[in-house]
């Protein structure tokens, strides 16, 4: 490790919305085969990794909305990411991580995964570990299914458990309004409800779920109207069953002509697709005035994955890695 006291690395990583999420049947290992198209949006988690006076151990502080619900022990995804990187790179795990949350905690936007992705990149730079992009992606996949995407960003197809990520060509910029809920939803609880609904309907989910060809065509054309028509999330019924009040958000979006409305990931965040910035503003005002959402954000996508944004003491050894 060559980092000196007082050095710090600042990395931003984006939250995501799922444009399409298809869930296969529950497998014996407790997982569901998934296929999803992710889009990274302009809601950025910030991780500042810095050297510490003690020169040993990983500590973390968290601020921003929902910070009180984020663990600050070894279960924090950012701490796990730093420790995993140190172990594999053969360096002493010594850093303080300062997290600034922007994504809602347990909101279905993979904020914790973005923290982990940002931490991998920040600690790689802070410790001068020199891991390749492929090595960082492999560590990301070990940490969690959404972590590789937060490194890659853009618009991408996720397969397996969502951990194998292939970029998808998307033209233009899409305008989203996010309706945030007061409290998060547990991902395992949403999957359990999904399994219950599937069993009750005697439905047989596809063992190899596929995303629609129409979605890829809409992204390629950069056409928000076509995209809005093919947004779809297999977990939406389960989340609405657990949180019936989310129906009010969907109704309001429909009344105000949103091009598409869908649950992000396992919720409870609902993403509304607008035709442009004017309609996004109109939807955001309507949502705020109605009080059906605890908080409302306007974002755009796609945006890049985790990247260094500013550093107090950039290592002169790797100037070319800035902005990676």
Q: Is 108 annotated as a binding residue?
A: yes
Q: Give min distance, CB of 6 to ligand ATP, in A.
A: 25
User: Mask: binding to ligand ATP, 15-34, rule CB under 6 A, as x and -?
Assistant: --------------------
Q: Which residues pair with 159 in a beta bridge?
A: 164
Binding segment for ligand ATP (CB under 6 A), chosen from 4-12, 107-115, 120-128, 165-173, is: 107-115
DSSP codes of every residue in 145-188: TTHHHHHHBSEEEEETTTTEEEE----S-EEEEEEE-SS---HH
Q: Is 28 a catalytic residue?
A: no
Of the candidate residues 77, 102, 168, 287, the single one contacting ligand ATP (CB under 6 A):
77
Question: Torsion angle of alpha carbons 58, 65, 186, 80, nearest 10°?
Answer: -10
Does the protein bind ligand ATP through residue 160 (CB under 6 A)?
Answer: no
The answer to whether the CB of 92 falls within 8 A of the CB of 86 is: yes
Pick 17 or 218: Cβ nearer ligand ATP: 17
Is there a cis peptide before residue 167, judged by omega within 30 degrees of 0? no
CA 297, 96, 125, 70 dihedral sign is: negative
Pick 187 or 275: Cβ nearer ligand ATP: 187
Does the protein bind ligand ATP through residue 190 (CB under 6 A)?
Answer: no
Q: Which residues of 257-274 are buried (b: 16+ CB within 10 A; e: fewer)?
A: ebbbbbbbbbbbbbbbbb
Q: Is 105 annotated as a binding residue?
A: yes
Choose, from 115, 124, 146, 234, the residue flagged as catalytic: 146
Does the protein bind ligand ATP through residue 172 (CB under 6 A)?
Answer: no
Does the protein bind ligand ATP through residue 110 (CB under 6 A)?
Answer: yes
Does the protein bind ligand ATP through residue 71 (CB under 6 A)?
Answer: yes
Pick 112 or 301: Cβ nearer ligand ATP: 112
Q: Is 146 a catalytic residue?
A: yes
In the chain the first and final C-alpha atoms are separated, in Å, by 21
Q: Which residues bind ligand ATP (CB under 6 A)?
A: 69-71, 75-78, 99, 105-113, 115, 146, 184, 187, 265-266
């Amino acid at each position: 490790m060559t980092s000196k006291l007082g050095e710090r690395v600042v990395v931003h990583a984006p939250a995501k919305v799922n444009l399409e999420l298809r869930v296969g049947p529950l497998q014996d290992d407790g997982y569901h085969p998934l296929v999803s198209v992710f889009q990274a949006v302009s809601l950025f988690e910030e991780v500042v990794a810095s050297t510490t006076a003690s020169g040993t151990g990983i500590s973390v502080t968290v601020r921003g909305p929902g910070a009180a619900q984020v663990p600050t022990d070894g279960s924090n995804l950012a701490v796990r990411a730093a420790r995993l990187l140190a172990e594999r790179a053969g360096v002493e795990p010594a850093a303080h991580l300062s997290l600034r949350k922007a994504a809602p905690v347990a909101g279905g936007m993979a904020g914790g995964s973005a923290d982990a992705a940002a931490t991998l990149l920040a600690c790689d730079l802070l410790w001068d570990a020199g891991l390749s992009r492929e090595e960082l992606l492999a560590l990301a996949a070990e940490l969690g299914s959404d972590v590789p995407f937060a490194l890659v960003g853009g618009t991408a197809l996720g397969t397996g458990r969502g951990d194998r990520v292939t970029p998808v060509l998307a033209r233009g910029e899409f305008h989203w309004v996010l309706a945030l809920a007061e409290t998060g939803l547990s991902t395992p609880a949403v999957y359990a409800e999904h399994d219950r609904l599937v069993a009750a309907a005697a439905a047989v989910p596809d063992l190899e779920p596929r995303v629609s060809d129409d979605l890829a065509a809409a992204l390629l054309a950069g056409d928000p109207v076509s995209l809005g028509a093919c947004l779809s999330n297999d977990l939406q019924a389960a989340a609405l069953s657990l949180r019936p009040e989310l129906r009010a958000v969907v109704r309001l979006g429909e009344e105000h002509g949103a091009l598409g409305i869908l649950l992000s990931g396992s919720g409870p965040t609902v993403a509304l697709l607008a035709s442009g910035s004017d309609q996004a503003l109109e939807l955001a005002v309507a949502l705020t005035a109605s009080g059906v959402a605890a908080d409302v954000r306007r974002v755009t996508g796609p945006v890049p994955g985790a990247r260094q944004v500013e550093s107090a003491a950039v290592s002169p050894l790797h100037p070319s890695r800035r902005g990676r």
